[in-house]
Structure 1
């Protein structure tokens, strides 16, 4: 049974299917026609997905259809909550309409996310400000104890973090100063007796935050290290500050951390070099291998950085890794060498490059 009707029906099953199909396909004219004939159709949902007509419209970015449904009395809190989706997608005007119609700005979904958590995940500042101005709890925590600020930091959304702090989000001054590269504030905080390796809810220290910003904060990182910050501390995901700097493609920050003693071959299987190779960060890859990164380290899938460079179709990184001793004959868990991976991916230029270094006797028939 596809449909679930919480209210008395005044329409046929065929009409209900026509309504849902129109909402799903984005046919505004048919939705309007259906609602004019039977306003209660605004309340139906698809039982196969658990989504209401309004939730489908919002998720499919059909704000015009969502407006019609809200005006027709669509429920605002069935299952996934339309306000969460509107906030996640940055539909500020629609979110305002949902709030005006009675949507709860502090409603919780199955992960205990509020709409403000959803806005943080989507990175939509305007939607977040709207929620805060309408009473959203800026320090609400999800099932993992994370606030919207924690999620914004985790996703390296510096401007979103700044906005939340300006609106009163609880935060560690030293973490925020590090992320925002506010050197004056950082110096003031460091002048007090403070734990420079203090962790936030995600296990990150201020040095992690300095490395996590989209633009990086080499000056903040250097100041923290000078005051005793641990360059090899790991967060809840086993990531070090060096890992963060690599992920954000900050060569200057990577260079600084290496100079300050960051371990280039951490204990976890997916190394900074794997990540740099996967994303084609040639400059960082060179910095890492020059400082002793193992070009033959394998992750849980058996992939070496050379495999990752092939996946990224980066012949320059492939050549670099080969020059620094990468073994082209190492097989992953599926039994593929980098050469065979290149052939499967259709990367003929890389395959030719690898062919000169590959033991042809090691190829599968």
Structure 2
């Protein structure tokens, strides 16, 4: 293997990379006099011109760091007649390679020699954070439509998918680095301001050239586990590519919206495929309650949160989407990860302002089409005491039941009980029980909240040294013991049976958990609570039969087999 020469490269590829000054200024001109194959391809489909352009941004030793060698090589190749419309196997065009280097002169040279501007090139200009280059591309006559596909050379080793989101979405949402190395030289605030100004300029350029903010894009839809039922799917992965308009998706993704809101013809009640208005889409994004509309406001100007701005401009607060979600449902339905208690309290304060709107206060207990009211959504999404207290103070009913599933707040909370980060959910479980939520309510499957807890939460009692990777919200042995004691105090019926005749022990037996030293497993704990291990379900199985079928060794170790039947160690 020759240093600097990759497998499959021709001599022209090697010289085009400009690793040495004489490659570009002596060897390349000499080789071009002998009419080499300008369109020779390496295994990745790169022509020599691609190599010259892409090498301009490559990392090099300090004594080879001047991209002038590669620029000179690229200019020689274009002048010699290299195909400026050649495309690599992964879809890179010559203009997109040049844009990656922020060299607008090279882009102009390529276009002057007949390079066609594609959607890929527009995205490359956005990624390079180069507004003049973007404006030049969009001003190029006879620019193909955004839907135009670029055909790679044969053979095609894999299907080239779409190049990504549309340019507007890309500019508004995608975060890109600025010039390499500049981040270390600039303060964080200065860098953010510079990036915001650049992205804002690009968005205005795209809109000025006719980009449609209500054009359709498709992005993967990841359903939340608790609302999968509304899609009739048990798949936890990407459900499907779901269409939406650019602006709605920008609002959902906490992207830059100010240039869109400046459009004089913007209709705030325009809906996307999910039936969301601008306000409903923004409410799905918790940051919209605190993030200012303008990221470039003067220092002496109080920033206006996006939600406040939309309502001030007349957005309809009573709008409902296709799933029956109001702005209040939408505000609490997304999973949140507040970095501090103060951040959560700030969100709760903004939510309280939203609830003051009569139309939304009237919907405080309204179920969506899946049967969940705002309180259920807030619990499911992991909101803490601050948000829950705001909803309860506004009239949310802690005893409310989902009319579709039969679940109450305790069914929803039950899956969050467990060792990791369960301190708040456990306290909330007790709080709702004391507020009147039925701890033994049977849902549509005959399951009480405790069935959900045993099936989905980690209720083991771990004694011994604390987990070195844990935090203050985890349940150690003492807290877990207190949780089980709380279950008894609020009146949990441990002998309950579901519609299939299963006891809690049947559920625990089918859930194989690693039980380490100094750990009391759920099955063992339920036995100590007096649950009968030998009751039969509708399939004539005891919980011990289920444990044997599921190879739950920890549960089976509590029994011994005698005369064809299971007997616990303490049974006479």
| Structure-2-length-normalised TM-score | 0.42
**Larger RCO of the pair (alpha carbons < 8 Å, separation 6+):** 1
1:279-324 CA-to-partner distances (Å, cap 9, x unmatched) read 96976785477547969858xxx974789xxxxx553333288454
Moved more, 284-293 or 202-211: 284-293
Q: 1:256 pairs with 384, 390, 398, which one?
A: 390
Contact 2:173 2:250 in 1 (8 A): yes
Inter-partner Cα distance in structure 2 for 1:279 and 1:100: 56
What's the CA shift for 1:228? 2.5
Residue 254 of structure 1 and its aligned partner are, at CA, apart by 3.8
Unaligned runs of 5+ in 1: 308-312, 341-351
Task: Return the alpha-carbon distance in structure 1 between the equivalents of residues 253 and 49 of structure 2.
Answer: 41
Tell me the distance in 2 between the aligned counterparts of 1:172 and 1:330: 50
Q: Any conservation in 2 of the 1:20–1:46 contact (CA below 8 Å)?
A: no
Matches within 5 A, 1:231-310: 232-233=367-368, 243=377, 252-257=386-391, 260-261=396-397, 287=428, 290-291=431-432, 297=452, 304=457
In the TM superposition, residue 248 of structure 1 has moved relative to its aligned partner by 9.0
Residue by residue, what CA displacement relative to the aligned partner does 1:29-53 show, whole Å, maximum 9, x if unpaired? 4531331220236543221x12224
2:159 maps to 1:117: no
Deviations 1:81-121 (A, max 9, x none): 22235446755454334334459697247499531132344
Which SS does the other structure have where 2:171 is aligned?
Answer: helix
Q: Which residue of 2 aligns with 1:19?
A: 52
CA distance in 2 between partners of 1:358 and 1:135 (Å): 63
Q: Deviations over 1:334-358 (max 9, x none)?
A: x665x78xxxxxxxxxxx9xx5455
Whole-angstrom CA distance in 2 between matches of 1:275 and 1:98:
52
Normalised to the residue count of structure 1, the TM-score between the two structures is: 0.59
Instruction: Assess if the C-alpha contact under 8 Å between 2:269 and 2:278 holds in 1.
Output: yes
Distance 2:69 2:450 in 1: 59
- Tell me which protein shows more helix as a share of its residues: 1
* 1:165 aligned partner: 261
Matches within 5 A, 1:62-81: 62-64=100-102, 67=104, 69-73=106-110, 75=115, 77-78=117-118, 81=120
Unaligned runs of 5+ in 2: 1-6, 10-35, 43-47, 61-66, 149-161, 176-195, 219-241, 271-276, 284-305, 339-345, 434-438, 440-448, 461-468, 488-503, 525-552, 556-572
1:98 aligns with 2:137: yes
Match for residue 151 of structure 1? 249
- Equivalent-residue separation in structure 1 for 2:244 and 2:106 (angstroms): 33
- 1:206 alignment partner, one of 327, 331, 345: 327
Aligned residues: 323
- Say if 1:208 and 1:240, in contact at 8 Å, map to a contact too: yes
Per the alignment, residue 362 of structure 1 pairs with: 554
CA distance in 1, matches of 2:145, 2:250: 18
- Greater gyration radius: 2
Contact 2:52 2:71 survives alignment (8 Å): no
Q: Match of 1:142, SS?
A: strand
> Where does residue 45 of structure 1 map in the other structure?
87
CA distance in 2, matches of 1:25, 1:197: 51
Deviation at 1:19, TM superposition (A): 3.1
- For the residue of structure 2 that corresponds to 1:146, the secondary structure is strand
Aligned to 2:221: none
